[in-house]
Structure 1
């Protein structure tokens, strides 16, 4: 589990490819103090396992499934990568609950300035997941916990403060950049637990009623 607060920007040192499988070797410094082989590290928001550590670098395996559902396959040596170690029990949640499981990628449509902030508009590649992207809700973009400023059903916009731009790889985004998107886990679980009322599958779609809320302990 992560929080979406990037600890460090790593640099991709090398890539070994075999089809859609990859081994990434990443240079880092701050997070190297206490990571061990087998630890989980969010790499651009994707939870990966450290398999080798030493000499200021660590390596992670990328499976074909992860390759197809993230932007990791677009990385090149020298790419700047957002890194976060798994949260320790008892730590502070400065961002929001992040699993490191990218739901999809998205393409940056435009960037614009709004006084001290930069607005980044992103078009998700899976429009059916737009139900989890709501104004003032949480979203993870390349591993960065952000608040959704606006959405029109086709795209969504996040407002990024100068500190976040300076401390993360978001500063390098431009129109056409592909980013990893993880929707809020709470919204996904609520949607799944509502079952037919949310999805309309398997039974007649009934919607949210007082009787349904009462039967599930909400009223």
Structure 2
């Protein structure tokens, strides 16, 4: 579990794609040990090998299909966050590190000291979990949604976030990872269960003929 508050950025050293599927990523980051978890652009991965500050991670085919990790190449800047601990402050929102889909950056504009970014979802079925003033993780960054359209949403970026994440390296057309708010998904699931229970109870209730 993460918070979406980026600790640091790292640099991709290399990406080795396996012929049978999947890939191994080498990222320069902070010292860690084998077996620890790290969110890279919002994707929870496990450290497989360590060489000083060079960390190696394996990404399975499903991860490459669902996220932007397959787009990475040497020299790319990535967002890094270690998991929550019992002593951690929850400065953002609950982020699992399980990316739902990707989105395209379709507009960047400035408004005062802020930058306004507009994203278009690749899989619009996840738009139902995105609401104005709700939380969303973009490349692992906890952000607040401002506007929502049929297949797009906007976020406003403060100068600090722009300076300490990989957003400053993103150009229009870039693909980013999207994780919607887990609370929205649980609410939907609970409502579906309630509807199913009501349907079953109504079907099982005896029909009384008042004639």
Same fold (TM over 0.5): yes
Q: Deviations over 1:131-180 (max 9, x none)?
A: 10000000000010000011112200000001001000011111100000
Q: Measure the CA separation in 2 of the matches of 1:89 and 1:50.
A: 21
1:9 aligns with 2:6: no
Q: Measure the CA separation in 1 of the matches of 2:74 and 2:126.
A: 32
Q: Measure the CA separation in 1 of the matches of 2:193 and 2:147.
A: 28
1:40 aligns with 2:37: yes
Task: Summarize the alignment of residues 44-193 of structure 1 with structure 2, pairs less than 5 Å apart.
Answer: 44-193=41-190
Residue of structure 2 equivalent to 1:23: 24
* 1:23–1:202 distance in 2 versus 1, CA, 3 Å: farther
RMSD value over aligned CA atoms? 1.5
* 1:178–1:203 distance in 2 versus 1, CA, 3 Å: farther
* Structure 1 unmatched ranges of 5 or more: 205-219
Give the drift of 1:5. Answer: 0.7
* Structure 2 unmatched ranges of 5 or more: 200-211
Q: Secondary structure at the match of 1:23?
A: strand
Paired residues, number: 198
* 1:202–1:176 distance in 2 versus 1, CA, 3 Å: farther
Residue of structure 2 equivalent to 1:207: none
Q: Measure the CA separation in 1 of the matches of 2:17 and 2:171.
A: 26
Q: Secondary structure at the match of 2:79?
A: strand
Q: Measure the CA separation in 2 of the matches of 1:63 and 1:184.
A: 24
Q: Deviations over 1:73-122 (max 9, x none)?
A: 00000000100011111310001000000000000110000101100000
Give the drift of 1:64. Answer: 0.3
TM-score by length of 1: 0.87
TM-score by length of 2: 0.90
Q: Secondary structure at the match of 1:11?
A: strand
Q: Secondary structure at the match of 1:120?
A: strand
Give the drift of 1:192. Answer: 1.1
**Larger gyration radius, structure 1 or structure 2:** 2
